[in-house]
Amino acid sequence: MRRVICIWMGLYLASAALALSITNGDFELQNVPTYHYDIEEWYDYGGPNIKINQGPFFLGAVGSSIFGSKCVYMGDEANTNEDGGNHTYVYQSIGFYDGDPQVVDIELDWGLAPNKTAGPMGITVMILESDGTFVPGEWDGAAHEIYGKPGITEIGRGTVVRQTAAGVVMHERFQIDLADATIGNELFLRFNNYKVGGLVPYVQVDNITMSPASVVNQSPANGAIYIPVWRTSPENNLVFKVVDPSIIAVDVLFGPEDDPFLSAKPEYKIVQGMPVTQGFNTVTLENELTEDLQYSTDYFWKVLAYESDGQGGLSLKYTGLITSFKTIQEGPYLVGVSPAIAGVWPGEDAVFTVSFSVSADTFQWYKVGSPDAALEDGPDYEGTKTNTLKVLDVQQADEGTYYCVGKETATGLTAPTLSPGVLFIKELKTYFPFETTYTAGGDIYTPDVKGGKDMLLVGGASVIKSVADPNTLFGGYLSLRNPRGKTHTQYGSIADASVANYPDITISCWIKPEALDLDYERFARVFDFGKDADNYFYLTLLYRTNTAYCETMREKAERDVLGVGEIEYGTKWLYVVLTIKDGIGKIYINGQYGGGKILYIPSSISKPLNYIGKGIGGDSPPNFNGVMDELKIYNYARTAEEIAREYMEVRAETEFICDLENYDLAAWDFNANCRIDLPDFMAIAEKWLQNYLVYFD
């Protein structure tokens, strides 16, 4: 087997001195003994009116520094994404760009502060360009954060997440291509940390340096899926740029082991001592590999660049970054079925498609079973021999998992889709009307009248059926009495581990909570579904602030919270709904949208701990105190309209529900009736032609 390596060499004449530079990258300029909000030569979220720990601050107390020297402490108000959307950012001008260098290496040391919780932490380095309109400065009541501001363009970035341990220093190198920078414009270096999951990254940073890069790995991208179908196609080339004219030869080291040094063993060397000449050209080399590429294998490669040692030999000047890719099967290649999850109403059609490599020229769709069934066109299916399958008039028997197999006729090679598609019928899966109970084995249960996943009543929890009872809304209800000062024993438990095990879901119920009146914040659970204290999602009431929110945890490392208010206590029934679709959680109170965001949902985890009115984490959060009714679980995310209509079916006196999720006219809706009508036009007319213009004369 022969291997084609394409090396793109763009050589340029180096300037006499590097025009770009970092000032006080080691933070030793500052002469403050302990802590200070100001970081010498850097701009950040800080000032005399900002608390030190709200943003980055200078750490001069060497004993508290993991580097044994002065450094930057990024603070405890962690950014929630790699862009750094909060306070913990630092930036400075690195000079005006003159076209040199084309690529820079940014290196830094960082790590988790002593005595902090270990876990995954993130850090991002950016180079930004200013057209001159942005004014840098400390944030102390003025908006001087540089990222995302008018006149600022992001040129490049590097970001990484590491599993950190307290007090351990990590060295990081980022390569940033400046090809898109404008000659003459000012460049800024910016870095920020960010949290991964629920951990706050108490990150310290030191020893930031910048230097021209000599060699840049170009392709395949790190972590990319490598497709060795046609051995000589450009998509299979290892490509890098040589951007330093002092480089006269390179080695490329390559192999299937995650060896941080990629030792120069024979099976690793692809190109050795390749001469580099002045100019701008493309060189294609064919070299023998001692072993063929294996499928479903991770491969690693890097570049060594040499300059002259002045005596006719070579001297290693630069070691490139390690880049990895993963091989897949040769021949036809089909990506995952789209959509991965398809929910339809009974009688509707469902459509699945699959993308494929050009070598796949015939297809066959299957439904998973015992055995898997090859599908045929007819009254139930269309397109069974194409890359698009239509399931006709979907009924209960059509629910299941579907996949496609592609074939390359010339070679006879076949390949299934990397991931299948799941088809289900949208429906109400679990319904507790709380009208009746029954006894089994000495325990009291209330039935799930839709799915048979009955609820055990624990610790004195009871179903009360009384038309005369002032708590009655629908005729019967679940009573959970867990008042302040009493042992909280009452809750419901659903033993079936699949009760909330849907990728998309709606959980709705009517509640009438009674305040616990606690002196400190505690979270009273409305419901809690999960595997253990590290894998769950729940809806909770925060009594002290009269709010409700959904909190989720997956694999302990990923955690998020979706909040909404207001909750009323002890006076009226509230209709509370949580929906999750494609990882987006949303909360509705009394039919009205309260907010939404991406949540880390453990949807693929079987949930043996399913509690109503109690948390799965033990006795720390209090149980729900009040009454509940009409608990429903759907296997799909209901729409805002469906939720609003269900609320108004009960509250007939409600004239309308404003669809706040889609309503974008609030700025013109002066009378707040969720429509633009004549009174709104009159309010606008009152201001007609008024102005506050100031003229020169």
pLDDT of 565-609, one tens digit each? Answer: 566 666 688 898 888 887 788 888 888 887 776 666 666 667 888
pTM of the model: 0.56
**The architecture CATH gives domain 428-650:** Sandwich (2.60)
Residue of 85, 79, 127 whose CA lies nearest to 106: 127
Structure tokens at 685: 């007319």
pLDDT score for 266 = 46
**CB count, 10 Å around CB of 48?**
8
Tens digit of pLDDT for each residue in 39-93? 999 999 888 878 887 889 999 988 889 999 999 999 777 777 888 877 889 999 9
Q: What is the CATH number of domain 341-425?
A: 2.60.40.10
Rounded Cα distance, 446 and 463, in Å? 8
Following DSSP, what letter does each residue of 47-110 receive, concatenated? -TTS-GGGS-EEE--GGG-TTSS-EEE--SS-BSSTT--SS-EEEEEEEE--S--SEEEEEEEE
Report percent pLDDT > 90 for the chain: 32
DSSP secondary structure code for residue 306 in this structure: E
516 pLDDT band, cuts 50/70/90, is low
The backbone region for 641, taken as left when phi is positive above 0, alpha when psi lies in -120 to 50, beta otherwise, is alpha
pLDDT at position 95 is 95
Q: Is 557 helix (H, G, I), strand (E, B) or coil?
A: coil
Mean of all residue pLDDT scores within the chain: 80
Measured CA to CA, the distance from residue 510 to residue 63 in angstroms comes to 56
Which of 229-238, 340-349, 445-454 is predicted with the least confidence, judged by mean pLDDT?
A: 229-238
**Amino acid identity, position 387:** N
Phi-psi bin for 599: left (phi > 0), alpha (psi -120 to 50), beta? beta
Domain ranges of the chain: 2-11+215-327, 35-212, 341-425, 428-650
* pLDDT one-digit tens code per residue, 122-173: 899 999 999 999 999 888 777 789 998 999 999 999 888 888 888 999 888 8
* 2-11+215-327 CATH fold: Immunoglobulin-like (2.60.40)
Q: What is the mean pLDDT of residues 299-323?
A: 78
- Under the banding of pLDDT at 50, 70 and 90, the label for residue 231 is very low
Neighbours of 466 (CB within 10 A): 11
- Asked if the domains 35-212 and 428-650 are classified in one and the same CATH topology, the answer is yes
Helix H or strand E encompassing 683: helix 678-686
Q: For strand 239-242 and strand 215-219, is the pairing parallel, antiparallel, or unpaired? A: antiparallel
Q: What percent of the chain has pLDDT over 70?
A: 77
CATH architecture of 35-212: Sandwich (2.60)
Give 410's contacts (C-beta < 8 A, 6+ positions apart). Answer: 359
Q: Which helix (H) or strand (E) holds 646?
A: helix 640-650
Which of 184-193, 341-350, 460-469, 497-506 shows the lowest per-residue confidence on average (mean pLDDT)? 460-469
How far is it, in rounded angstroms, from Cα 559 to Cα 199?
8
